[in-house]
Amino acid sequence: MVVLVAWFVANVGNAIQDRDIPHGFSFLDREYQTPIGQHFLPYESSDTFLYAFIVGATNTLIVSVVGVVLATALGTFIGISRLSTNWLASKAALVYIEFFRNVPLLIQLFFWFYIVLALPPVRDGYVVADRLYLNNAGLSIPWPSVRSADAALAWIGLATVAVVAGIAVHRWLVRREARTGSSPDPLLIGVMTTFFIGAVGWLVVGAASGGAPFTTSLPAPQGAFDRISGGFTMSGGLMALMAGLVMYTASFIAEIVRAGIQSVSRGQTEAARALGLSSTHTLRQVTFPQAMRLIVPPLISQYLNLTKNSSLAGAIGYSDLTNVAKTMTQTAPAISIFLMIMLAYLALSLTYSLIGNLYNRHISFGRR
Amino acid sequence: MIAGAEPINNSALRPPHSERGFVGWVRANLFGTWYNSLLTVASVIVIGAILLFGIRWVISDADWTVIATLGGQMIIGQYNTELACPSQNCFWRPQASLLLVTILLGMAWGVAGGGLTKRIAIGISVALAAFALLPYSFERMGMDVRLLLAANIPAVGLGWAIARYTPLGTGRGIALSAIAVFLVTLILVHGVPNVPGLEPVPVRHWGGLMLNLLLAVAGIVISLPVGIVLAMGRRSRLPVVKLLCVVFIEVFRGVPLITLLFMSQVLVPLAFPENFPQNSLFRAGVVITLFSAAYMAENVRGGLQALHPGQAEAARALGLPGWQTMLFISLPQAIRNVIPAIVGQFISLFKDTTLVYVIGMLEVVAISRAYIQGNTEYLASAKELFLFLGLVFWVFTYGMSFVSRRVEKHLGIGVR
Give the best residue of B209, B252, B255 to mutate against chain A (max A CB count within 10 A). B255
Least confidently predicted of A62-76, A175-189, B88-102, B209-223: A175-189
Q: What is the pLDDT of residues A220-267, one digit of tens each?
A: 777 766 677 777 778 888 889 999 999 999 999 999 998 888 888 788
At residue A74, the pLDDT reads 94
Q: How many CB pairs under 8 A join A and B?
A: 140
DSSP H helix total and E strand total for chain B: 19, 2
Q: What is the DSSP secondary-structure string of B65-81? A: HHHHHHTHHHHHTTTTS
- The rounded distance, in Å, linking the Cα atoms of B328 and B314 is 12
- The rounded distance, in Å, linking the Cα atoms of A65 and A72 is 11
**Confidence tier at B391 by pLDDT (50, 70, 90):** very high
Q: Is the pLDDT of residue A6 over 70?
A: yes
- The rounded distance, in Å, linking the Cα atoms of A249 and A61 is 16
Q: Is B352 part of the contact surface with chain A (CB cutoff 8 Å)?
A: yes
Q: Is the pLDDT of residue A276 over 90?
A: no
* Amino acid at site B302: G
Q: What is the pLDDT of residues A278-295, one digit of tens each?
A: 877 888 888 888 888 888
Q: Which has the closest alpha carbon to A323: A66, A33, A26, A52?
A: A52
Tell the burial category of A210 from Cβ atoms under 10 Å away from its Cβ (0-12, 13-18, 19+). exposed
**A257-286 as b/e: b if 16+ CB within 10 A:** bbebbeebeeeebeebeeeebeeeebbeeb
Q: Is B395 part of the contact surface with chain A (CB cutoff 8 Å)?
A: no
Look at B389 and A107 and tell me if their CB atoms are within 8 Å: yes
At residue B389, the pLDDT reads 92
**CA–CA min distance B90, chain A (Å):** 28
CA-nearest residue to B251 within chain A is A342
Q: What is the pLDDT of residues B265-289, one digit of tens each?
A: 877 777 777 677 667 788 888 899 9
At residue B293, the pLDDT reads 93
Q: Which residues of A touch B263 (CB under 8 A)?
A: 334, 338
Q: How many CA atoms lie within 13 A of A15 on its CB side?
A: 21
Q: What is the pLDDT of residues B91-128, one digit of tens each?
A: 788 888 888 888 888 888 888 877 788 888 888 888 88
CB neighbours of B52 closer than 8 A, spacing ≥ 6? none
Q: Is A156 part of the contact surface with chain B (CB cutoff 8 Å)?
A: no
At residue B290, the pLDDT reads 92
At residue A234, the pLDDT reads 80
Q: Which residues of A touch B229 (CB under 8 A)?
A: 1
At residue B9, the pLDDT reads 61
Q: What is the DSSP secondary-structure string of B127-180? A: HHHHGGG----TTTS-HHHHHHHHTHHHHHHHHHHHHHHSTT-SHHHHHHHHHH
**Confidence tier at A19 by pLDDT (50, 70, 90):** low
Q: Which residues of B touch A118 (CB under 8 A)?
A: 380, 383
Look at B47 and A88 and tell me if their CB atoms are within 8 Å: yes
At residue A21, the pLDDT reads 67
Give the best residue of B251, B265, B272, B354 to mutate against chain A (max A CB count within 10 A). B354
Q: Is B233 part of the contact surface with chain A (CB cutoff 8 Å)?
A: yes
**Cα A81 to Cα A86, A92, A253, B49, distances in angstroms:** 8, 8, 13, 19
**Confidence tier at A188 by pLDDT (50, 70, 90):** confident
At residue A368, the pLDDT reads 40
Q: How many CA atoms lie within 13 A of A333 on its CB side?
A: 14
**Confidence tier at A20 by pLDDT (50, 70, 90):** low
| Dmax (CA) of chain A | 79
Region A146-156 average pLDDT: 76
Q: Is B246 part of the contact surface with chain A (CB cutoff 8 Å)?
A: no
- The rounded distance, in Å, linking the Cα atoms of A250 and A73 is 8
Q: Is A301 part of the contact surface with chain B (CB cutoff 8 Å)?
A: no
- The rounded distance, in Å, linking the Cα atoms of A314 and A321 is 9
**Confidence tier at B416 by pLDDT (50, 70, 90):** very low
**Cα A146 to Cα A143, A157, A159, B297, distances in angstroms:** 10, 15, 15, 50
Using alpha carbons only, give the angle B81, B83, B84 rounded to the nearest 5 degrees: 70
**Cα A92 to Cα A249, A302, B31, B371, B388, distances in angstroms:** 17, 22, 16, 34, 21
**Is A81:A96 a contact under the CB 8 Å cutoff?**
no
DSSP H helix total and E strand total for chain A: 12, 8
Q: Which has the closest alpha carbon to B184: B196, B194, B170, B198?
A: B198
Q: What is the pLDDT of residues A107-125, one digit of tens each?
A: 999 999 988 887 777 777 7
**Start-to-end C-alpha separation, chain B:** 50
* Total residues found in chain A within this entry: 368
Phi, psi (5° rounding) for residue B153?
A: -70, -50
Q: Which has the closest alpha carbon to A48: A335, A253, A332?
A: A332
**Cα B215 to Cα A180, A270, B101, B223, B251, distances in angstroms:** 65, 50, 16, 11, 22
Look at B393 and A103 and tell me if their CB atoms are within 8 Å: yes
- Other residues' Cβ atoms within 10 Å of the Cβ of residue B55: 10
**Is B79:B208 a contact under the CB 8 Å cutoff?**
yes
- The rounded distance, in Å, linking the Cα atoms of B189 and B328 is 37
**Is A149:B414 a contact under the CB 8 Å cutoff?**
no
**Cα B345 to Cα A77, B245, B348, B375, distances in angstroms:** 25, 19, 5, 36
Tell the burial category of B264 from Cβ atoms under 10 Å away from its Cβ (0-12, 13-18, 19+). buried
- The rounded distance, in Å, linking the Cα atoms of A247 and B86 is 44
Q: What is the pLDDT of residues A78-92, one digit of tens each?
A: 998 888 888 888 888
CA-nearest residue to A325 within chain B is B259
Region A66-85 average pLDDT: 91
Q: How many CA atoms lie within 13 A of B59 on its CB side?
A: 6
**CA–CA min distance B176, chain A (Å):** 27
Phi, psi (5° rounding) for residue A84?
A: -60, 145
Q: Is the pLDDT of residue B19 over 80?
A: no
**pLDDT, averaged across chain A:** 82
**Is A242:A66 a contact under the CB 8 Å cutoff?**
yes
Q: Is the pLDDT of residue A336 over 70?
A: yes
Q: Is the pLDDT of residue B415 over 60?
A: no
**pLDDT, averaged across chain B:** 83
CB neighbours of A346 closer than 8 A, spacing ≥ 6? B254, B255
CB neighbours of B304 closer than 8 A, spacing ≥ 6? B231, B232, B235, B330, B331, B334
Interface of A with B in 45-74 (CB under 8 A): none
Q: How many CA atoms lie within 13 A of A332 on its CB side?
A: 28
Interface of B with A in 22-41 (CB under 8 A): 29-30, 32, 36, 39-40
Look at B43 and A105 and tell me if their CB atoms are within 8 Å: no
Q: Which residues of A touch B389 (CB under 8 A)?
A: 107
Give the best residue of B259, B267, B357 to mutate against chain A (max A CB count within 10 A). B259
% of chain B at pLDDT higher than 70: 94
At residue B135, the pLDDT reads 79
Region B194-220 average pLDDT: 84
At residue B162, the pLDDT reads 85
At residue A367, the pLDDT reads 45
Give the best residue of A9, A103, A105 to mutate against chain B (max B CB count within 10 A). A103
Q: Is the pLDDT of residue A71 over 90?
A: yes
- The rounded distance, in Å, linking the Cα atoms of A251 and A265 is 24
Region B16-36 average pLDDT: 73
Region B147-169 average pLDDT: 83
Interface of A with B in 115-144 (CB under 8 A): 115, 117-118
Q: Is the pLDDT of residue B90 over 60?
A: yes
Look at B36 and A315 and tell me if their CB atoms are within 8 Å: no
**Is A308:A341 a contact under the CB 8 Å cutoff?**
no
Interface of A with B in 209-228 (CB under 8 A): none
- The rounded distance, in Å, linking the Cα atoms of B78 and B363 is 10
- The rounded distance, in Å, linking the Cα atoms of B98 and B107 is 14
Provide the 3-class DSSP secondary structure of residue A84. coil
Least confidently predicted of A154-168, B67-81, B265-279: B265-279
**Is B361:B311 a contact under the CB 8 Å cutoff?**
no
Q: What is the pLDDT of residues B330-387, one digit of tens each?
A: 888 888 888 888 888 999 999 999 998 888 888 899 889 888 888 888 888 888 899 9
Q: What is the DSSP secondary-structure string of B2-44? A: -TTPPPP--SPPPPPGGGSHHHHHHHHHTSSSHHHHHHHHHHH
Alpha-carbon dihedral sign for residues B263, B266, B268, B271: negative
Q: Which residues of A touch B387 (CB under 8 A)?
A: 111
Region A145-165 average pLDDT: 80
Region B201-213 average pLDDT: 84
CB neighbours of B193 closer than 8 A, spacing ≥ 6? B199, B200
Q: What is the DSSP secondary-structure string of A26-42? A: GGGGSB-----SS-SS-
- The rounded distance, in Å, linking the Cα atoms of B115 and B409 is 14
Q: How far, in whole angstroms, is CA A39 from its chain's centroid?
A: 16
**Could you report the predicted ipTM of this complex, rounded to two decimals?**
0.86
% of chain B at pLDDT higher than 90: 12
